[in-house]
């Protein structure tokens, strides 16, 4: 080999190494409530996303590029959510994961659609976002599906008169959930005896919320609220009407906080979870152990949903062809393998999910359905 050719090849080699070393990371945004009173919800989602991305980065990233997670806090407040969404849009990530609540989705999804930004939520469930051909993908089932399922389970277990306390701070979720529940439960032959609305952001008196429901003589109290508020509602329910059945929606299924805050008052609480606690298969067990090792605590439903969501994105980015948009890739390359379930998007980016019911017994969640 001539000395001149040797020098040329050496320079080309240095340029290739330099190019590889300077590959831009693949940026993924995350928008969640991380500073509000129900921040355990957002933190659970963030943790699930972090775990999936760290695992993929250790495995070499995506086509040799590392994944960078850009996190913004919407604070579960309108103006903060707008600012956070604007910041993320300006950074032009491949996709934004979030928001975690339907109330925040009502604010930021129109912004994302106008900007042409792809967004995917692990948890948003309101039917307000279902069946629309836009830039918003959802990995959770709808409030209608959840409420119909819940109504059937309660009726089978003997509930006939249900009083409902619901958080209007996340009205897009709670209002559609309550309506679907009432329609189904009353169709089955039961009755919603009364509803009690509160605003979690306004530091309500939970004693008054429960007291409003009792004159209508319910046999069951249903809470459409976060884990923290469900714990406090349960405490008041046990003080004022200890014989009543208590139950809560999957919104409260963020993990340990419910039993930590509720103590003995949440014993007997029936709640929906987005995963099978009795699953012995390796993918689920590996996720569970990895989560506990990374965060030193057990995971909740939202962490698993978020973990699945991040892995859906990773798979679509790995398989995407040149010139193919990420929206097209997300629609084209399913079904996606989750820790327990396959995720299949329809043409509008919607999916559904099998959900399980657990009852808290002596401080532990025990699966009953």
Cis bond before residue 335 (omega within 30° of 0): yes
Q: Does one domain contain both 149 and 268?
A: yes
Q: Is residue 112 part of a domain?
A: yes
Task: Please tell me the distance from the alpha carbon of residue 19 to that of residue 358, in angstroms, as a whole number.
Answer: 52
Task: Give the model confidence (pLDDT) of 269-327 as tens digits.
Answer: 999 999 999 999 999 999 999 999 999 998 989 999 999 999 999 999 999 999 999 99
Last residue of one domain, picked from the residues 220, 248, 273: 273
Contacts of 79 (CB under 8 A, 6+ apart): none
Contacts of 181 (CB under 8 A, 6+ apart): 147, 148, 150, 151, 162, 164, 192, 222
Last residue of one domain, picked from the residues 234, 255, 273: 273
Q: Is residue 364 part of a domain?
A: no
Query: In the chain, what is the straight-line distance between the N-terminal and C-terminal CA atoms, in Å?
Result: 73
DSSP 62: B
Q: Using alpha carbons, select from 252, 199, 259 the residue that is nearest to residue 222.
A: 252
Task: Please tell me the distance from the alpha carbon of residue 41 to that of residue 52, in angstroms, as a whole number.
Answer: 18
Q: Does one domain contain both 266 and 153?
A: yes
Q: Does one domain contain both 224 and 333?
A: no
Q: Report yes or no: 163 and 220 within 8 Å, Cβ to Cβ.
A: yes
Q: 115-149 b/e with 16+ CB inside 10 Å = b?
A: bebbbbbbbbbbbbbbeeeebbbbbbbbbbbbbbb
Cis bond before residue 229 (omega within 30° of 0): no
Q: Does one domain contain both 289 and 253?
A: no
Q: Does one domain contain both 224 and 263?
A: yes
Q: Is residue 14 part of a domain?
A: no
Last residue of one domain, picked from the residues 273, 292, 321: 273
Q: Does one domain contain both 153 and 132?
A: no
Range of the domain at 111: 26-140+281-343
Q: 310-322 b/e with 16+ CB inside 10 Å = b?
A: bbbbbbbbeebee
Q: Is residue 45 part of a domain?
A: yes
DSSP 65: B
Tens of pLDDT along the chain (369 residues)? 444 433 333 333 333 333 444 489 999 999 999 998 878 899 999 999 999 999 999 999 999 999 999 999 999 999 999 999 999 999 999 999 999 999 999 999 999 999 999 999 999 999 999 999 999 999 999 999 999 999 999 999 999 999 999 999 999 999 999 999 999 999 999 999 999 999 988 889 999 999 999 999 999 999 999 999 999 999 999 999 999 999 999 999 876 678 888 899 999 999 999 999 999 999 999 999 999 999 999 898 999 999 999 999 999 999 999 999 999 999 999 999 999 999 999 999 999 999 999 999 998 889 998
Q: Is residue 365 part of a domain?
A: no
Q: Does one domain contain both 265 and 160?
A: yes
Number of domains in the chain: 2
Q: Does one domain contain both 212 and 252?
A: yes
The encoded tokens of residue 153 equal 């389970």
Q: Is residue 6 part of a domain?
A: no
Q: Is residue 11 part of a domain?
A: no
Task: Please tell me the distance from the alpha carbon of residue 180 to that of residue 248, in angstroms, as a whole number.
Answer: 15
**For the domain that residue 250 is a member of, what is the CATH number?**
3.40.50.2300
Q: Does one domain contain both 261 and 151?
A: yes
Q: Does one domain contain both 131 and 148?
A: no
Distance of CA 171 to the CA centre of its chain: 16
Q: Is residue 257 part of a domain?
A: yes
- In DSSP notation, 348-362 reads TS------EEEEEET
Q: Does one domain contain both 244 and 289?
A: no
Q: Report yes or no: 74 and 108 within 8 Å, Cβ to Cβ.
A: yes
Q: Does one domain contain both 116 and 166?
A: no
- pTM here is 0.91
User: Inter-axis angle of helices 206-213 and 227-240, to 10 degrees?
Assistant: 60
Q: Report yes or no: 259 and 266 within 8 Å, Cβ to Cβ.
A: yes
């Amino acid at each position: 080999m001539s000395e001149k050719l040797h020098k040329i090849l050496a320079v080309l080699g240095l340029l290739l190494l330099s190019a590889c070393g300077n590959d831009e990371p693949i940026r993924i945004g995350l928008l969640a409530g991380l500073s509000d009173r129900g921040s355990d919800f957002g933190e659970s989602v963030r943790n699930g996303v972090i775990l999936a991305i760290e695992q993929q980065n250790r495995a070499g990233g995506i086509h040799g590029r590392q994944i960078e997670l850009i996190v913004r806090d919407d604070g579960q407040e309108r103006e903060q959510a707008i600012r956070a969404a604007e910041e993320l849009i300006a950074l032009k990530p491949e996709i934004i994961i979030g928001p975690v609540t339907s109330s925040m989705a009502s604010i930021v999804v129109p912004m994302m659609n106008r900007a042409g930004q792809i967004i995917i939520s692990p948890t948003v469930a309101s039917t307000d976002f279902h069946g629309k051909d836009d830039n918003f993908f959802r990995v959770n089932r709808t409030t209608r599906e959840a409420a119909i399922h819940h109504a059937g389970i309660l009726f089978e277990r003997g509930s006939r008169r249900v009083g409902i306390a619901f958080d209007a701070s996340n009205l897009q979720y709670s209002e559609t959930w309550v309506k679907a529940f009432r329609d189904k439960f009353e169709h089955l032959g039961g009755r919603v005896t009364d509803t009690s609305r509160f605003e979690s952001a306004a530091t309500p008196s939970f004693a008054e919320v429960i007291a409003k429901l009792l004159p209508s003589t319910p046999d069951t109290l249903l809470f459409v609220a976060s884990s923290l508020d469900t714990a406090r509602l349960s405490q008041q329910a046990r003080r004022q009407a200890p014989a009543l059945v208590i139950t809560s929606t999957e919104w409260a299924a963020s993990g340990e906080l419910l039993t930590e805050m509720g103590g003995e008052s949440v014993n007997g609480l029936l709640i929906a979870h987005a995963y099978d606690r009795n699953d012995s298969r390796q993918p689920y067990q590996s996720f569970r152990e990895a989560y506990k090792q990374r965060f030193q605590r057990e995971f909740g439903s939202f962490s698993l949903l978020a973990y699945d969501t991040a892995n859906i994105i990773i798979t679509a980015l790995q398989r995407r062809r040149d010139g193919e948009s990420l929206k097209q890739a997300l629609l084209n390359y399913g079904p996606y393998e989750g820790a327990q379930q396959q995720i299949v998007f329809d043409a509008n980016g919607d999916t559904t999910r099998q959900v399980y019911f657990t009852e808290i017994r002596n401080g532990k969640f025990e699966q009953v359905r």
